[in-house]
Amino acid sequence: MQIIPRVRIWTEDEDNYIRDNYLNMTDKEIGDVLSRSSSAIKNERLKLGIKRKRQRKSGYKKGEVLSFEKLKQMFDERDYILLSSESEYKA
């Protein structure tokens, strides 16, 4: 007995949904709506020529000078210990 994999063909409506929502939703969220895996969404998105810009998890831009308060907040959110005081920080 040969096992034949089930392949779902992408519909135009699904492709349009990806195009319309990729900026506001994650691949996982789109996948939940379309009943597809996040990797399937990513593969189809790339096939359609839709790439995401990498976003920094910290929420700051490369080269941005952070205030001590923002730096402290980032450390606190990650349960890190900041080993210097504000007076030692030179922004």
H helix runs in 1-91, sequence order: 12-21, 27-34, 38-47, 68-77
Question: Which residues span the domain enclosing 23?
Answer: 12-47
Q: Is there a single domain that holds both residue 17 and residue 39?
A: yes
Q: Is there a single domain that holds both residue 91 and residue 61?
A: yes
Tell me the pLDDT tens digit for each residue of 22-69: 988 999 999 999 999 999 999 999 999 999 876 555 566 667 777 888
Q: Is there a single domain that holds both residue 41 and residue 63?
A: no
Residue 84 token pair: 């210097």
Domain count of the fold of the chain = 2
Q: What is the pLDDT of residue 2?
A: 80
Tell me the pLDDT tens digit for each residue of 58-89: 566 667 777 888 888 888 888 888 777 777 76
Q: What is the pLDDT of residue 16?
A: 97
